[in-house]
Structure 1
Amino acid sequence: MEFTEITLGDRTVPVVENGYYDRYRMNPDLEEIQRDPAVGDLAFFRRMPKRMTDSALGPMWTPNFYYRASSAQLLFAVPLSRLRAHLPAPLEPVRILPGVGLIALALYRYEICDNDPYNEVGVAVVVHDPRRHRARTLGFLDSLRRRVGYAHVLALPVNTEIARVRGVDGYNLPKWRTDIDVSIDGQVYARVAGTEGRTDIEVGAKLPAIRKLPPGSRVSATKLIHTLGGRWHETTTQTNALAIGAQFLPTHVRLLRGTGPLGDLLTELGVDRPLRMEVTTEAQLALHLPRPLAL
């Protein structure tokens, strides 16, 4: 694979030569993209035309399209006392029991997207909508009904430089670059490299029963609540799930913690056995730029 250099903000970043970013600079011709047999139907993206928007990296086309992706998310119950040290005020964690909150460990494989293929692993606290100061329980139930989730990201390593620079400089998310393998096919597997090439974390799991969905029948949104330039912002990702499965109290999950920041973080949070696993073997995503949020 050959690389070329592009300018992103005040940085020079390598990207795949003749890849999607090199060719389209985040503003692709969907008629050309549609000719790729691996992409599939593009109706989800045609409903949200891109626009040029100011960002922390300068003017940028948004949203960022992910034409083919897969993911796995593990939810863990952890003591609220462990979360407090990692969750800034005024954010409030969702409580599933007195003194118990939720941590999400998510594995992402982005096979075809505007800024070229990459893998990503995230650790986040599940939080309430920060604009709802009352009736938080009702607000959380309403969010579930509307398929909208809120989270505060604690760690988000990636395996390409353009994904790291966009995430750190453009979104102020806790990203760093390291080797990451993610496979969501016959089984779920992920490995994140830690210090000196050792394993940081390794995840293995059996796939739950997967069901195919009609395009557009299950669109959800995840809203990341974070600061950017000293102000609170909200970053929205819309997901059009095309094949998905879930399991409560999964028994065939292996989580190995080695030497590195992710393993250390999961240990600090008191992560043990997962409560729920959701696997999306095929999906389309749209990642929007951060929007200011008045808290």
Structure 2
Amino acid sequence: MPSQTDTTMIDIAGHPVPVVKGGLYDRFRSNPPLSVIAAEVPGVDLSWFKGLEKNKVDIGFESFSPNFYYQNSRVTAVYTADLDRLRALMPPEVLATVQPLQIWPGRGLIAFTAYTYEHCDNDAYNEVAVSIITNKPGKANLGPFTLIGQSMSGDFWGYVLKLPVNTELARVRGVVGYNLPKWLTGIDRKEDARSVVYDITDSQTGKVDVSFKAKKLDDLSSDVDIVTSSFTNLDHHGQLAYGYAVSRQLSHGSSRSADSATLTLGDGSLSNYIRSLKLGKMMKYEYVPAFQSALYAPKPLAALADTH
């Protein structure tokens, strides 16, 4: 996180937010010219973004959609989890539209993903997502078959349970603009030759609560892979909404080996929450050391039928 000396305060929807002084967000508020990015991050291929149009939107504050993420990495582990518990954690209105995928009787799926956004419209930050994998609204939930279909089409749907971030800018934008369950805490990323480790601090105690160790896989594919990740939730007025991000994966690999990822839980609130999901077998691990992304502003769920 930036030190106080390097920050300036701005207002987002009535929230005072410290941002990097002279950083991208301070200067351009989510709409930097690509020429600026090219100058600041030489060597990053920006060709994909040239084909995407930004529009001014009101998401509780003025912003631009989509939000661009130019240089990023992520690691994801998908685990089985207790299906009844997953259903209980979703609002009834959402559950009436989408349900957790049942992979076998009594078991659903949770995706645990750690992201590092090195260069994006709202400055650098780390984020960790705990999400229930669901069917797409309006589509049948056929459990494993739905999962295979989503994998083949690169069109994934989920319900986000937890989303800690390590900058106040990411927190406020996510909570106000995207209706996402974000809070501010320390998320430390370190790596060596073999693995990437994310340590998530408990915001109450200041101690490391969750540690996620992810293996750096060999045999990575450099075939460009376009993936859409969508979420369904309730907006600030209690209405059904959805949002989505389109990602361009530039380097990626996956594994089903149990030792690819290790989730170590402590005794803080996030660890206790994850324990309550009764995680079981790891079904899949994804290592994506290079991807780009465009995050679109949320829309009423009713609009989905018109566009997809």
| TM-score clears 0.5 | yes
1:1-295 matches, within 5 Å, as: 2-38=6-42, 40-55=44-59, 57-88=60-91, 89-90=95-96, 91-133=98-140, 139-183=146-190, 186=193, 187-194=195-202, 195-214=204-223, 217-228=224-235, 229-294=237-302
The answer to whether the 8 A contact 1:33-1:39 is kept is no
Tell me the distance in 1 between the aligned counterparts of 2:164 and 2:139. 30
TM-score normalised to structure 1 length: 0.93
Give the conservation status (yes or no) of the 8 Å contact 1:13–1:161.
yes
Report deviation, 1:207. Answer: 1.5
Distance 1:134 1:218 in 2: 25
- Cα offsets for 1:15-74 (capped at 9, x unmatched): 00011101211111112211234561111111111110121x233111111111000000
CA separation of 1:74/1:184 partners in 2, compared to 1, >3 Å: closer, same or farther? Answer: farther
Cα distance between partner residues in 1 of 2:41 and 2:140: 47
Q: Shift of the alpha carbon at 1:184?
A: 5.7
Moved over 4 A (4+): 133-140
Structure 1 gap ranges (5+): none
Report the Cα offset of residue 11 of structure 1: 1.6
Equivalent pair of 2:77/2:261 in contact (CA under 8 Å)? no
Further displaced range: 268-277 or 67-76: 268-277
SS at match of 2:218: coil
Supply the RMSD in Å over aligned alpha carbons.
1.9
Instruction: State the one-letter code of the partner of 1:26.
Output: S
Counterpart amino acid of residue 202 in structure 1: S
Q: Which deviates the most, 225-234 or 81-90?
A: 81-90
- Within 2, Cα distance between the matches of 1:250 and 1:36? 39
- Aligned in 2, Cα 1:176/1:32: closer, same or farther, shift over 3 Å? same
Give, as a single letter, the amino acid of the residue that structure 2 aligns with 1:261.
Answer: S
Q: Which amino acid aligns with 1:24?
A: F
CA contact 2:112–2:128 (8 Å) conserved in 1: yes
The answer to whether the 8 A contact 2:258-2:282 is kept is: yes
Q: 2: CA distance between counterparts of 1:117 and 1:99? A: 39
More divergent stretch after superposition (204-213 vs 134-143): 134-143
Q: Name which of structure 1's ranges 90-99 and 16-25 shifts more when overlaid on structure 2.
A: 90-99
Residues 1:46 and 1:164: Cα distance change in structure 2 (over 3 Å): same
CA 34–261 in structure 1, closer or farther in 2 if over 3 Å, else same: same
Shift of 1:253: 3.0
Q: Which runs of 5+ in 2 are unaligned?
A: none
TM-score (norm 2): 0.89
Matched-pair contact (CA < 8 Å) for 2:102–2:143: no
Contact 2:135-2:141 at 8 Å conserved across structures: no
Q: State the 1:75 CA deviation.
A: 0.4
1:260, distance to aligned residue in structure 2 (A): 2.1
**Over residues 134-170 of structure 1, what are the superposed CA-to-partner deviations in whole Å (9 max), with x where a residue is unaligned?**
7676554432221010000110000000100011111
Paired residues of 2:189 and 2:197 also in contact (CA < 8 A) = yes
Question: 2: CA distance between counterparts of 1:225 and 1:78?
Answer: 19
- Verify the 8 A CA contact 1:248 1:275 in the aligned structure 2: yes
Deviation of 1:80 (Å): 1.0
Q: Distance in 2 between matches of 1:141 and 1:180?
A: 32
Counting matched residue pairs gives 292
Deviation at 1:12, TM superposition (A): 1.7
Shift of the alpha carbon at 1:270?
0.4
Bigger proportion of residues as helix? 2
| % identity of equivalent residues | 34
CA distance in 2, matches of 1:231, 1:74: 30
